């Protein structure tokens, strides 16, 4: 029985030059299945001009892909986060091929790609729908900008500036003013990323929550707080430098004190293809050594 025709859009990390053998393996697996393959321009140019690969039959897109049934993210978790942002509200399922170190989100190894593709063609695969978070920035003139993130929205001081003051309200009710180097609003997915490194809790996916974690708070009485993800969080920031940074999964934008931030769950999720054997807690144990006993003897 012939395989159905599927189209794949590939995003990749240009800083992993030593992993081109893995990239060739993935492309070979797609070619064997007569798949349509397109690749983002920067990654395509890198592979052709820098690595000297022959990519016959691969089309190129710049920014937005077209007609893809699946997206393949080739890199680490950072590449997958960028892929999720580029996919946006199209909600195309993403296959995260781990070419980096940790690979907490990008859970498919190069050695597993054939098995994953076989399952996709047999329609025997799992898609994990992960909540995203969005930030709306309102300027004094009423204009708005919007960014979405799979892991977190972070509000941070700039460079070596003094700590910032972040007046925080939830659903219109004033909660507290954080005096800190920053504030992280994370999804359950992002709870094991920047938030965790600042003392935030690990939150299991699909719990319908957001977490606010301060970065280096001035007061020891300030602790992370978890709330329902139908909450609307409003932030007003004061800084001695009169400006600060807003980072959505590391994509940072400079803002000034006149700008009010509104943070809530995104209206769309990220759709991540998972190997059937991979569960959240097995990934915690394997990738983060969660629960490991490091005592000797």
Buried b (16+ CB within 10 A) or exposed e, 53-90: bebeebeebeeebeebebbbbbbbbbbbbbbbbbbeee
**Is 77 designated active site?**
yes
Residues of the chain with pLDDT under 70: 1-3, 16-19, 100, 102, 140-143, 296-297
- According to the model, what pLDDT value does residue 297 have? 58
Domain boundaries, the chain: 7-125+276-288, 132-267
Q: Which CATH number does the domain 132-267 belong to among 2.60.200.30, 3.10.20.600, 2.30.40.10, 1.10.357.10?
A: 2.60.200.30
Q: Which of 77, 181, 249, 269 is catalytic?
A: 77
**What is the assigned CATH class of domain 7-125+276-288?**
alpha beta
Percent of the chain whose pLDDT exceeds 70: 95
- According to the model, what pLDDT value does residue 1 have? 43
- According to the model, what pLDDT value does residue 105 have? 87
CB-based contact 145:136 (threshold 8 Å) = yes
- Residues 224, 201: Cα–Cα separation, whole Å: 8
Identify which of 82, 105, 88 has the alpha carbon closest to the alpha carbon of residue 188.
105
pTM (2 d.p.): 0.91
């Amino acid at each position: 029985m012939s395989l159905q025709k599927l189209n794949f859009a590939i995003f990749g990390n240009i800083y992993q030059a030593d992993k081109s053998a893995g990239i060739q393996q993935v492309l070979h697996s797609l070619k064997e299945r007569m798949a349509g393959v397109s690749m983002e321009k920067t990654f395509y140019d890198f592979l052709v001009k820098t690595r000297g690969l022959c990519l016959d039959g691969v089309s190129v897109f710049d920014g937005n892909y077209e007609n893809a049934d699946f997206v393949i993210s080739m890199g680490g978790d950072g590449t997958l986060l960028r892929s999720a942002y580029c996919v946006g509200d199209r909600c195309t399922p993403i296959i995260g091929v781990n070419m980096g170190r940790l690979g907490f989100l990008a859970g498919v190894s190069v050695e597993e790609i054939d098995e994953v593709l076989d399952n996709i063609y047999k329609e025997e695969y799992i898609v994990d729908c992960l909540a995203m978070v969005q930030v709306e920035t309102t300027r004094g003139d009423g204009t708005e900008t919007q960014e979405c993130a799979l892991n977190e929205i972070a509000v941070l001081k700039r460079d070596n500036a003094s700590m910032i003051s972040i007046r925080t309200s939830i659903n219109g009710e004033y909660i507290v003013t954080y005096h800190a180097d920053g504030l992280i609003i994370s999804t359950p997915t992002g709870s094991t990323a920047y938030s965790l490194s600042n003392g935030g809790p690990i939150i299991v996916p699909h719990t319908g929550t957001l977490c606010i974690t301060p970065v280096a708070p001035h007061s020891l009485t300030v602790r992370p707080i978890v709330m329902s993800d139908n909450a609307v969080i409003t932030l007003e920031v004061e800084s001695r430098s009169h400006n600060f940074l807003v980072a959505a999964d590391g994509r940072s934008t400079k803002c000034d004190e006149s700008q009010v931030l509104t943070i809530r769950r995104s209206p769309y999720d990220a759709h991540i293809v998972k190997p059937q054997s991979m569960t959240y807690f097995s990934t915690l144990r394997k990738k983060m050594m969660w629960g490991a006993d490091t005592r000797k003897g």
